[in-house]
Amino acid sequence: MYPVSQFRHSNSLLSISVMLEIVIVGGGLGGLAAAVAFRRAGHSVEVFEASPGSAFSEIGAAIGCPPNAVRILDSFGITNESIRGVEFAGITSLSHKGGPGIAASYGDIKGRFGNEWRLCHRVDIHQALQNLAFGEEGVGSPVKLNLNIGAVSWDPSIETLVLSNGEVRKPDLLVAADGINSTLRSHIIGQEVVASSTGVACYRWLVDAEKIKGNPELDWVMKEEPSGPRLVTSPDGRIMFLYPVRDKTIINALGTHMDDRDQSQVGFHTPSTRTSLLEKYKDFAPQYQEFLKLTDENAVGLWQLRSMPPLPTWINGRACLLGDAAHAMLPTLGQGAAMAFEDAATLGVLIPFDTPREEIANRLKGYESLRKERADFVSKESLENQVVKEKRRSYVRSPEMQKKVMGYDACAVAEEYRMKNFTL
């Protein structure tokens, strides 16, 4: 039975409005974005997150929020001031041998794509989403957060969720936002699929921006225009990619390279060191070595970059996948979080308050039809821009593809679909 939300008059008769009971498994960026979208729609929402309270935060460092992601964050009421984002105005490309870079401005980004492009710390976005989901103030009832509880199984035949604390739930809608190593994915799609090894790995680390001040050899990092990432490449595909976040107080850095480890025998994320980082990029010019040396010895992580192959489906009855559980992708196009935000916003539009429980399965078919082809395309391009030599940096050179990816308005597309296919 649905929880009663309010009474309303319909055709002069008193009727009861109801809200759906929605369970979201996974409290990362995608799961929390879905929680916000459903709260704003007026539903009763619970999030189950396997991490304990002390570890409930985003791992990793920073992300680019391209215009299609900013459009959704803005619609939630997340201001740039609240997440301390830095303007992305263009990319400066540099050779690993040193010398002057080639600056490529993106021009009027808001005019081209409809919104700004921001560089943000993941933790700041995660906290902003937490505030909107769980805070007492705001639209709708606060989302309930359950920490240290993950999913064990989902039985599509009886639409029953079993949780790690032994609890059994039968929600009106289940959203599996439990990441690249999703537990629920196989239960929903009916087969085991894991993210494919790409043979690519990525060092990740942060540098306090104070450390680069007063050193002319490091002016290339942030002082020179345009505001945005610095891309340092070598002919063998090794890349240093760095940009400022949190009001330019932190430099987020990545070092991407072909992985000489057996990726099936090591974890997706393992600790690493500055020594290992310096060895991998030892032939890069002195100005880059100078930057690498600012890294703390044990403050480096090494991540496998894996890509989810296209799944046969994202849905099963009243359950669906969202974010990395459905379409984990390489960071090459900067669209991983953006695709999760689009998923969440689409669900929020397609399943508004007063949606009959009996319609959820059909609305999820709409969700898949709007989201799957697009996310699979972006995932494929993200992979090929990294591993296919002829396609490297093709996204940067293609205004048409940029427009297709970043000029997209997920909410408007979903609203148009809903108006055409449903009465509510």
pLDDT at 217: 93
Mean pLDDT of all residues belonging to the chain: 92
Same-domain status, 79 and 160: yes
- Asked if residue 305 lies in contact with residue 256, where contact means CB atoms within 8 angstroms, the answer is yes
pLDDT at 120 exceeding the cut of 50: yes
- The band of 315, judged by pLDDT with boundaries at 50, 70 and 90, is very high
Task: Please report whether residue 95 resides in a domain.
Answer: no
Q: What single letter denotes the amino acid at residue 240?
A: M
Task: Please report whether residue 107 resides in a domain.
Answer: no
| Domain stops at, among 307, 328, 345 | 307
- Asked if residue 101 lies in contact with residue 92, where contact means CB atoms within 8 angstroms, the answer is yes
| Dist CA 142 CA 113 (whole Å) | 33
What's CA 113's distance to the chain center, in Å? 19
Chain length of the chain: 424
pLDDT at 237: 84
pLDDT at 11 exceeding the cut of 80: no
pLDDT at 1 exceeding the cut of 70: no
Task: Please report whether residue 19 resides in a domain.
Answer: yes
Same-domain status, 183 and 206: no
% the chain with pLDDT above 70: 94
pLDDT at 305 exceeding the cut of 90: yes
Same-domain status, 276 and 288: yes
% the chain with pLDDT above 90: 86
Same-domain status, 349 and 244: no
| Dist CA 185 CA 331 (whole Å) | 22
pLDDT at 392 exceeding the cut of 90: no
CB proximity list for 328: less than 8 A, separation 6 or greater: 179, 180, 195, 306, 307, 308, 336, 379
Same-domain status, 399 and 378: yes
Q: CA dist 22 to 152, 153, 417, Å?
A: 17, 16, 22
| Dist CA 42 CA 36 (whole Å) | 10
pLDDT at 54 exceeding the cut of 70: no
| Domain stops at, among 287, 307, 327 | 307
DSSP label of 263? G
Q: Quick check: pTM over 0.85? A: yes
- Asked if residue 249 lies in contact with residue 183, where contact means CB atoms within 8 angstroms, the answer is no
Same-domain status, 139 and 245: no
Model pLDDT for residues 196-248, shown as the tens digit of each residue: 999 999 999 999 999 999 999 999 999 989 999 999 999 988 999 999 999 99
Same-domain status, 32 and 180: yes
Task: Please report whether residue 330 resides in a domain.
Answer: yes
Q: Of 4-8, 141-145, 153-157, 178-182, where does mean pLDDT reach its minimum?
A: 4-8
Place of tokens 């040396």: 293
- The band of 396, judged by pLDDT with boundaries at 50, 70 and 90, is confident
User: Residue 49 is part of a domain; what is its CATH number?
Assistant: 3.50.50.60
Task: Please report whether residue 98 resides in a domain.
Answer: no
pLDDT at 19 exceeding the cut of 90: no
List, as one string, the DSSP characters of 172-190: SEEEE---TT-SSHHHHHS
Task: Please report whether residue 108 resides in a domain.
Answer: no
Neighbours of 137 (CB within 10 A): 7
Same-domain status, 85 and 42: yes
| Dist CA 264 CA 272 (whole Å) | 18
User: Residue 219 is part of a domain; what is its CATH number?
Assistant: 3.30.9.30
Same-domain status, 154 and 208: no
3-state class (DSSP) for residue 125: helix
- Taking each continuous run of H as one helix and of E as one strand, the counts in the chain are 14, 22
| Domain stops at, among 307, 342, 361 | 307
pLDDT at 60: 61
pLDDT at 15 exceeding the cut of 50: no
User: CA gyration radius for the chain?
Assistant: 22
Task: Please report whether residue 97 resides in a domain.
Answer: no
The two tokens of residue 219 are 């002016």
- The band of 14, judged by pLDDT with boundaries at 50, 70 and 90, is very low
- Asked if residue 30 lies in contact with residue 323, where contact means CB atoms within 8 angstroms, the answer is yes
Same-domain status, 344 and 395: yes
Task: Tell me the residue range of the domain where 224 lies.
Answer: 197-307
As for how many domains the chain has, the answer is 2
Task: Please report whether residue 99 resides in a domain.
Answer: no
pLDDT at 391 exceeding the cut of 50: yes
pLDDT at 330: 93
Same-domain status, 223 and 339: no
The two tokens of residue 251 are 């430099």
| Dist CA 97 CA 278 (whole Å) | 15
pLDDT at 4: 40
Same-domain status, 188 and 317: yes
Q: Of 49-58, 111-120, 198-207, 403-412, where does mean pLDDT reach its minimum?
A: 49-58
- By C-alpha distance, which of 371, 284, 355, 275 is closest to 318? 355
State the distance between the two ends of the chain, measured CA to CA, in whole angstroms: 20
